[in-house]
Every structure is written in structure tokens, then in C-alpha cells.
Amino acid sequence: MRTTTSMLAAALAALGLSTAMASAADPLTLQLKWVTQGQFAGYYVAQEKGYYEEAGLDVTIKPGGPDVAPEQVIAGGGADVIVDWMPAALAAREKGLALVNIAQPFKASGMELTCRKDTGITGPEQFKGKTLGVWFSGNEYPFLSWMSKLKLSTQGGADGVTVIKQGFNVDPLIQKQADCISTMTYNEYWQVIDAGIPADQLTVFKYEDQGVATLEDGLYTTEEKLKDPAMVDKLARFVKASMRGWQEAAKDPDAAAQIVLDNDTTGAQTEEHQKRMVGEVIKLVGESDGTLDTQAADNTVAVLMGGGSDPVITKKPEGAWTSAVTDRMKSM
């Protein structure tokens, strides 16, 4: 009886310890920029592999979508950290929402403009008089800066370009409603290919090659949250675990894609597309450890301020990024 009682006491003690450890995990909510897909594989891998748990975190990952603006979510208290593009974050900051970049998992831009070759477009100088599809909700800022650099009006006419608000699909190009559309190297470009237009019938302009690339998929929080040392510590643990997730995704992209699929509650994603997406996305992450390249951030600012009479931002931001979180991460 004593043995049984001792075993029961030990089991209850262990359960109590386990419960205490679980309750001790710091909650943190991440708002993604878009729906569950390979673009965010590193975060799902970190969660699936227990990296967040090992870091003492209880992370909730909230998918985005066409009706979700990460900036509004964090402003309303619905997230502690968001995945966002720097143009959208800086535009929101200039309007009064004090977003701060705390880490930059993506080193390179995946944005591009994809045109049908039969339009005769071989260079940006031939955009004049054409119809171009563009995403909005913050994604239009790099495009508008590029058109301004080219001195092309976006109001249409023979000396400008006609801009159509592109949905999150490639239909305008397939149906010839637009001469070119916005695509990402890891997503919509391949949708065009899968729709039956081979690569040799397309002309692609990568923003990186055109000198108008801006930073994408950074991690942002608010100035207010960064005033709390405990939150800075929590965010540092989160970034470290997330980058571990990205490193694991790079080692085994197919397994990472399957983890993404397992977390897709909509059932809309396919295995082939997600495997391809993860393979392309990890090229953009590269060897990043999450540290922001401030020169790349300065370049982003220069692109956004180069908008002629209608720039995306009107002045150089102050305090728009910090190394406090990644510095803390490196000391762990």
C-alpha cells in the first residue's frame, strides 16, 4: 500500500510540476500577413517541433487573409507581433501607428511583375500605355514607387499606365485583362505556369533587379510593447525559436511543407504547391539569423521616398527599427 501510495503521490507531484511548467509558459500571439502557407513555414515548424515550448513560450499563430490587415490587428491588441512588409509598416507608422521592426527573417524580396511576352513588353520603358495588375492593402507601395521612378503616371493614358486592383489570383493575366500582373517568386508566378502559360512565353521583372526592392516579411511590434523588458525578452526567445524553425525548414523543405498543410484548416492548399513554395521561400531567407540589415532598411526608405509628388512616406522615419530584440537573442 505504501508503495502504491508513494507512486500515486509521485505521479501527482509530477503532474503538478508539469502543469506548473505549462502554465508558466509565456503567451505570445503572432499575426501572419496572409493565409497559412509555405511563406510562413518557419513559424509552423518552430511550433510543431516544440521550439517555442522549449523557449518557454505558448505561441498562437493567427492566419491572415484578404480581410485581415496585420497593422490593424496589433493596433487593436489582437497580436503581440506581426509579419509585415516594411513599406506597409512604415506607411502605418507615418500615419500614427508606432510599429517597429524587431527582426528580419527575409533577406531578399520575392516581388516581381510578370508579363505575357505577346504584349511586346521587353523592358520597363514599354510599360507606357499598358495595363498592370497590382495588389493593394499595403502591397501596392513598392509598385507605386517604381512607377514614380520611371516617371509613369498611374492614372492611365498613352503616357502612363492603367492600374487595375488585382485580386489574390492570376486571372487578369490568364484572361488578358492585364498585360502584366504582380507575382511572388514563390506563389503567383507558379500559378501562371500551372494555368498553362510556359515560362518561355513570359517576361518577368524582379523588383530586386530593378533596384526598387523593399524588405518583406519582417517581424514588427509596437514601441509601447518594447518599453517592457519582459516583453523584449519574450520576443527575443520568439525570434530565436522562429529562426531555428526556418533553419529546420531549409534542411527539410518537404517536411516543412507537410507541417504547413497539417495546419491549413481550409484544405485549400495542395502538396505540390506548398513544397514548391517552401523551396522558393527559403531562398529569400537565405542565411539570415533574423538580424535586420540596416542598409537594406535605408534602401527601402529611399525607394519609398522616391515617389515624386506622391511618395509613400514623406520623411525618413526615426525609431522604425531596433536591434534590442536580436541583440538580446544573441546573448541567450
Helices (H) and strands (E) in the chain, counts: 14, 10
> What pLDDT does residue 136 have?
81
Q: What is the pLDDT of residues 176-200, one digit of tens each?
A: 999 999 999 999 999 999 999 999 9
Q: Are residues 257 and 200 in the same domain?
A: no
Among residues 171, 189, 206, the one where a domain terminates is 206
Give the torsion sign (CA, 26, 31, 36, 40).
negative
Residue partners of 20: CB distance under 8 A and separation at least 6: none
- 291 and 195 co-located in one domain: no
**300 and 222 share one domain:** yes
Residues 6+ apart with CB under 8 A from 266: 35, 36
Q: Verify that 140 and 223 share a domain, yes or no.
A: no
Question: What is the helix (H) or strand (E) element at residue 235, kind and residue range?
Answer: helix 229-251
Q: How many domains does the chain have?
A: 2
Confidence check: pLDDT of 10 > 60:
no
Confidence bin at 308 (pLDDT 50/70/90): low
Shared domain check, 129 and 267: no
Contacts of residue 269, defined as CB under 8 A and 6 or more positions apart, other chains included, come to: 36, 37, 260, 261
Same domain, yes or no: 95 and 224: yes
Residues 6+ apart with CB under 8 A from 58: 22, 25, 26, 27, 28, 52
Among candidates 255, 272, 254, 274, which has minimal Cα distance to 264? Answer: 274
Q: Are residues 118 and 188 in the same domain?
A: yes
**Which DSSP symbol is given to 119?**
G
Predicted pLDDT at 309: 64
- CATH number, residue 123: 3.40.190.10
Q: What's the pTM value of the predicted model, to 2 decimals? A: 0.88
Helix (H, G, I), strand (E, B), or coil: what is residue 82?
Answer: strand
pLDDT tens digits for range 272-289? 999 999 999 999 999 999
CA-to-CA separations, 321 to 9, 92, 170, in angstroms, rounded: 51, 14, 34
**Stretch (H or E) spanning 321:** none
One domain, residues 92 and 171 = no
Clarify whether residues 122 and 18 are in a common domain: no
Q: Which three cell numbers stand for residue 99?
A: 510599429
**The last residue of a domain, from among 160, 177, 206:** 206
Say yes or no: 223 and 323 in one domain. yes
Give the confidence band of 210 by pLDDT, cuts at 50, 70, 90.
very high
| Grid cell locating 221 | 511590434
Q: How many CA atoms lie within 13 A of 249 on its CB side?
A: 40
Name residue, grid cell 507601395: 141
Phi then psi dihedrals of residue 272, to 5 deg: -60, -45
Residues 117 and 72 in one domain: no
Residues 92 and 219 reside in one and the same domain: yes
Domain that holds residue 274: 2-107+215-330
Is residue 163 within 8 A of residue 116, CB to CB? The reply is no
92-138 per-position pLDDT tens digit: 999 999 999 999 999 999 999 999 999 999 999 999 999 999 988 76
In the prediction, which pLDDT does 141 show? 81
Of 149, 171, 206, the last residue of a domain is 206
Buried b (16+ CB within 10 A) or exposed e, 271-286: eebbbbbbbbbbebbe
What mean pLDDT is predicted for residues 143-160? 89
Q: Which residues contact 302 (CB under 8 A, 6 or more apart)?
A: none
Q: What are phi and psi of 212, to 5 degrees?
A: -125, 20
Taking only the tens place, the pLDDT of each residue in 34-89 is: 999 999 999 999 999 999 999 999 999 999 998 899 999 999 999 999 999 999 99
